[in-house]
Structure 1
Amino acid sequence: MSAVSDAIDARRSYSRVTAETPDRAELLRLVSVAGRVADHGSLRPWRLIELRGDARRRLGDALAEASGRLGDDAARLAAKALRAELLIAIVASRKESHKVYDWEQDAAAAGVAHALSLLLFDAGWGVMWRTGPFTRSEPVRRMHQLAPHEELLGWLYVGGVPSESKSSQKAPLDPAEFLSAL
């Protein structure tokens, strides 16, 4: 196997991470590489938003507002945005195109997110891609300052890998179940 195959095979999702995070310079380097994914028309129909510090609290408030919950229920939901010191919002930022459909552009944005998660993991960081029922709610859209042509695809929660980590490892799959021929 190649180094790429080994890295993909080793990848795990970490639901809990430590407070340590990559700095902006490291993120910029990894985003530069992740941006090389397949992208019909080279539209680059995506953008990423780095959320640290108070931005995570504002996200938590937006999630609570979107849910309509009050009191402790709202506080528990808002706390989900604080599970990592760094969240990276993945935004499908669709471009006007007569030949590249919205779904293709969304696929490119998802490809960037997945590539970035692989690159972060390979660099030694714990990562989990999270979504939820309020990902595309109006309060969350406002908080991220999304334009009308943009859709939030979720967040990468990023941090250090705990020494006693519980990573999510997928069960092996039978590739023949997923690869057919015509």
Structure 2
Amino acid sequence: MPDTTNPVLEFLLTRRSRPAKMLRAPAPDRETLETLLQAAARVPDHGKLEPWRFIVLQQPAGNRVAQQIMDYAAEHGLDGEKPARAFLDSPLCVAVIASPKPSEKIPPIEQTLSAGAVCLALVNAALATGWGASWLSGWPAHDARLMHSILGISPQEWVAGFVHIGTTDVTPADRPRPDLASITEWVSE
């Protein structure tokens, strides 16, 4: 019988993202971050296509991205303050880039889901090792023109998420969680 008192399960049942505004330096060093990225890359990837990649934004690159978001927002009548703030607050951001590959066997939706799994796996790897982390997106992530300008991503790529990582000694209060009974259907025949 499986062990339901496993510490990994306990972590997953109690994990809590740390908002970017709660993060500060230091951030993981390169060697530590490479380990976290290795853990993140161990997600379901049908066909071994690796339909995602990472762009690591260290400071002062985060400050540059924040300024570019603010400038773009001002030019287009958008609110740039909130999305830019995350890049100013956190000492490190990993942009997880969905990079779908042509495949006759693996549909685009499976590649998209794999990119999302990478984001969550990276957050969980960071949290499990004592770092603060959160997965954000917002309108800048979905603006292809802006992301091409800032990150140099190709036209078929898009940002699956910005994972902000840093040090924090604050755990936010837990939020209401889904009512499992209302979202679960049991089928036995």
Q: Settle same-fold status: TM greater than 0.5.
A: yes
Q: TM-score, normalised by structure 2?
A: 0.85
Matches within 5 A, 1:123-162: 123-137=129-143, 138-162=145-169
1:174 correspondence with 2:169: no
Contact 1:85 1:159 in 2 (8 A): yes
Instruction: Find the partner of 1:30 among 33, 36, 54.
Output: 36
**2:16 and 2:171 in contact (8 A); partners too:** no
Find out whether 1:86 has 2:113 as its counterpart: no
Deviation at 1:54, TM superposition (A): 2.5
Structure 2 partner of 1:50: 56
In the alignment, is the contact (CA less than 8 A) between 1:13 and 1:127 conserved in 2? yes
SS in 1 for 2:54: strand
The answer (yes or no) to whether the contact 1:59–1:140 under 8 Å persists in 2 is: no
RMSD: 2.1
Query: Match of 2:121, SS?
Result: helix
Query: Partners of 2:120 and 2:62 in 1: how far apart?
Result: 21
Tell whether 2:20 aligns with 1:19.
no
Q: Indicate if the aligned counterparts of 1:86 and 1:158 stay in contact, CA closer than 8 A.
A: yes
Cα distance in 2 for partners of 1:12, 1:49 equals: 24
| Deviation digits for residues 79-126 of structure 1 (CA, Å, limit 9, x no counterpart) | 442110101111101111112122211110110110111110010001
Kindly provide the CA deviation profile for residues 142-181 of structure 1, in whole angstroms up to 9, marking residues without a partner as x: 211101221102211111113xx25252324322222213
Which structure dedicates a bigger proportion of its chain to strand? 1
SS of equivalent to 2:142: coil
2:15 counterpart of 1:8: no
Aligned partner of 2:40: which letter?
Answer: A
In 1, the alpha carbon distance for the partners of 2:53 and 2:124 equals 17
Distance in 2 between residues matched to 1:42 and 1:180, nearest whole Å: 32
Question: Is this contact kept in 2: 1:30–1:116, CA < 8 A?
Answer: yes
| Structure 2: runs of 5+ lacking an equivalent | none
Q: Which has the higher contact order (CA 8 A, sep 6+)?
A: 1
